[in-house]
Chain A
Amino acid sequence: MKTPSDENHDLIRWLDGEMTADERRAFEATLQNDPELAAEAESMRQLSESLKTHLPAEMPVPHADFFNSQIQVRIAQMELDDAREREKAAESTAGWLSWLRMPWLVGAAAAAFAIAGLVWTQNSSSGTSTIASTYTPNPSVHAQVFHSADAQATVLMLDGLEPVPAEKKIVGFRVHRAESDAEVATTTLFDENGSVLAVVALNAKGQPQVLK
């Protein structure tokens, strides 16, 4: 005996045309003997037709590039986390190798680690900054990313920005440190003498306001 969920499953498969010829014949025979199921099938068929008529087969994802890049970044982070977990697990299982505690091996291992550490430090100090993704809310602004080997810098060029009015006076800060208050979502900026330069606070829309 079929349960209601089995019938619904069959109904969906029938609507989607996923049944074999034998299954379809058997199901349509069931429909003829079950007016309630037949009414439901007709209702779902009409709804399906209506959806197919009014909705496009594919819908563009808004800001698809940014969405995809965000997913790629998350995947990269998860892979990195997994690699760290594997390293930790490998370290913990290495504890039984008591023969490593032999004095001459400890010395050799220390030397090897020191060399490896030196190589790693040199490599890390020469790491190149990268941009994984960019998103500009204003469609007239375009972000261009490239690496300048001459300048040894990564460049994020924002084209299409509205110029700052020439008469506007741009006042700079020399911020030595900042303190954040998570409860009231503010960040207080201090100069090297400990005097308050400004306070960054978020308004109701989540936009920052630099207050003095």
Chain B
Amino acid sequence: MKAISRVSIALFYCLFSASLSWADGIPVDKVYHPYVLANERELEWRFTSRQNDDGNVLAQRFAYGHAVSEYLTIEGYIVGERDEHGDFGLQAYEIETRWMLTDQGELWADWGILFELEKQHKEDVYEFTSGLLFEKEFTQTSLTINALLVYEWGKDIQNEFETEFRLKYRYRYLPALQPSIEIYTGEDFVGVGPGFMGIHRYEGQKQLKWELAFIAGLNGDSKDHTLRFALEYEF
């Protein structure tokens, strides 16, 4: 009953966020699963490269995460981006927390909540993201959906609410190879493309996860492709 109450509150929040405008920036990023594993620590590297009519945007994120309980994990990020002069440098820092609302398989679907706070390094720009994480198993496949609400504020940006939507439909073929279809929407962006992920286990709780996706923008631009790659070492 407690789990259903938590999910109901989260859903109302999600419905509110769905009525707002889309987010800007690179909308292609990780599709979060709603799960937290107790005692887990992780190091993560994400790489995203978007090529469209305006040129190339390249971003990398380095993170360290730690599960603080059976249901809650906290992760800190350093974000690097290539600027308009082609120089790569520190762009932002971020703290993120994920809360697993239901045990896996407890209800019809599994639910979680995400909160992120980001500060741009050289500008007075803040971003607070919150969202609902959903996953449902259909035999050997899993559907994962993230509905995110973003609020941006600061002296160097117009205060506004935005939304993002991410979807991944994955076939759990083998631990090392799980193909998927991913869909993303953000401000003036709708993208779709194939993705792959896999896990390689080492001793004990140590494992390496990898993710790769190639997303084509369907916005009408002559060229809009995003490549995303992520490596996660859990220990």
Q: Do A and B come from one complex?
A: no
State the A residues within 8 Å of B (CB): none
B residues lining the A interface (CB < 8 Å): none
